[in-house]
Structure 1
């Protein structure tokens, strides 16, 4: 899984193919941020969750690749701890 190559700390990995079966693991009382390597699967996951009645799901713009670049730069410049387990540029 791409999850093993890096993800947001504290993230829960639910592959798109398992989403409907595991929907009860997803909180409805707070925002849910979705990401995948390219942004396509997470977009499909957002659409699926919205169809299942979730109204506070957000697809992270630009995918995990873009997030990695953004966080890497800001972590280095601001000398802060990363919110990511790993940076993934590939």
Structure 2
């Protein structure tokens, strides 16, 4: 019997949960764990595969011209970058 197959193991893990959270925060130097999820022994449900593959992507009618169709903000940022960049 492995550790995850025993309800006693789960009970012990739940009792030690606060200590584990404090140790994780101390090790990381910041809050990284709020509440670990300790589950009882049993099978994990497996999601069913999707019936169809991903949706087909649409292909543009003509060549993509991102610089010509870019937003005004993009053009302003590009101009500012060109002014600041060393020549």
Same fold (TM over 0.5): no
More contact order relative to length (CA 8 Å, sep ≥ 6): 1
Answer 1 or 2: which has greater helix percent.
Answer: 2
Q: In terms of Rg, which structure is larger?
A: 2
TM-score by length of 2: 0.29
Answer 1 or 2: which has greater strand percent.
Answer: 1
